[in-house]
Amino acid sequence: MTLYQPFLDYAIALLQDRLDLSPYPIPSGFEYKENITGKGKRQETVTTTSYGFQSPKLRQIRAAHVQGGNALQVLNFVIFPRLNYDLPFFGGDLVTLPGGHLIALDMQPLFHNEEYQKKYSDPVLPIFQSYQEVLPWGGDFPDEAKQFFSPAFLWTRPQETELVETKVFDVFKEYLQAYLKFVEQAEPVTDEGKLAEIREAHLRYIGYRAEKDPARGMFTRLYGSEWTEEYIHGFLFDLK
C-alpha cells in the first residue's frame, strides 16, 4: 500500500512541467532510510525517501515520503519561496495511521494583513469552500499554530481511504495548481525593509515547525534521536 505515491508523482511531474527545476542538495544519509517496526504478523518495513528541488523563485521544494504498509503512510510536501519574494509557503501534510487519516493543506501566509490575504488567500477560498462539505473541519488545532495558517487552511480527518484517493487528491492538485499561478505571477521584492520582514517571517515559521514537528516522535522511534534531529534541522527546516 503506497497511498500517497500518486500525490508525489503528480506534484513532481507538474513542477517539472511548469518550472525550471534543479536538484536541491539532500545531506548524505537522508535520501533513503529504512527500519523494521512491529512484531510477528504486524511487522512492517518502514522506508523514508526524501526529495529535493529548487527553482529560480523557490528556495526549496521538498518531500519526505514514509511508507510503512498498513501501519503508516505519510507524505510531507513543503515549498519554501526564495527570500526576495512575498509568496506564502505551500504545505501539505498527508498522514495515515491505523486509527485513520489526517490531512492538512494550506498556503501558509508570511503576513496577516488585509492586503496579503486579498492577494494570496482570497483566490484560494473558492477551492477550499467547494470541498468543505465532503472534507469537513478536522477539529481542534493548537492555538499557537493558528498564526501560521490562512483562511483557506484545509484540515480534515476523512474516515474512508477512498476519499483520500479521490477528493483529497483532487484538492491537493487544485491547491498546487493555484500555488504555481502565484509563483508565475510573483515579482521580486527590492525594498530592504520588506526583505527583512520576509526573512523574519521565514525564520519564525521554520523555527516553529522545527520545534513542533509532529513527525519527531515517529522518526525518533524508527531511526533514533540523533538522525531525527539532524534530519529536521539539516534538511526539513534548514534555513539558518
From first to last of the 240 residues of the chain, give the pLDDT tens digit.
689 999 999 999 999 999 999 999 999 999 999 998 878 777 889 999 999 999 999 999 999 999 998 879 999 999 999 999 999 999 999 999 988 999 999 999 999 999 999 999 999 999 999 999 999 999 988 888 888 999 999 999 999 999 999 999 999 999 999 999 999 999 999 999 999 999 999 999 999 999 999 899 999 999 999 999 999 999 999 998
Q: Which helix (H) or strand (E) holds 183?
A: helix 169-185
Residue 25 DSSP class: -
Q: What pLDDT sits at residue 191?
A: 98
Name the nearest CA neighbour of 7 among 180, 182, 165: 165
Name the nearest CA neighbour of 147 among 205, 203, 105, 94: 205
Backbone angles phi, psi at 156, to 5 degrees: -150, 160
Which three cell numbers mark 56?
529560480
C-beta separation of 236 from 62 below 8 A: yes
What CATH number is given to the structural domain containing 21? 3.40.1500.20
Structural domain containing residue 216 = 5-236
Q: What pLDDT sits at residue 176?
A: 98
Q: Provide the domain count of the chain.
A: 1
C-beta separation of 202 from 211 below 8 A: no
Q: Where are the beta strands (DSSP E) in 55-197?
A: 58-68, 72-81, 89-97, 100-108, 154-156
The angle at the Cα of 70, spanning 170 to 35, to the nearest 5 degrees, equals 115
Q: Which residues contact 81 (CB under 8 A, 6 or more apart)?
A: 57, 58, 59, 87, 88, 89, 183, 186
Report how far apart, in Å, the C-alpha atoms of 240 and of each of 84, 97, 121 are. 16, 32, 27
Which three cell numbers mark 216?
519527531
Q: What pLDDT sits at residue 1?
A: 60
Amino acid at 163: L
Q: What pLDDT sits at residue 121?
A: 97
Q: What pLDDT sits at residue 4?
A: 98
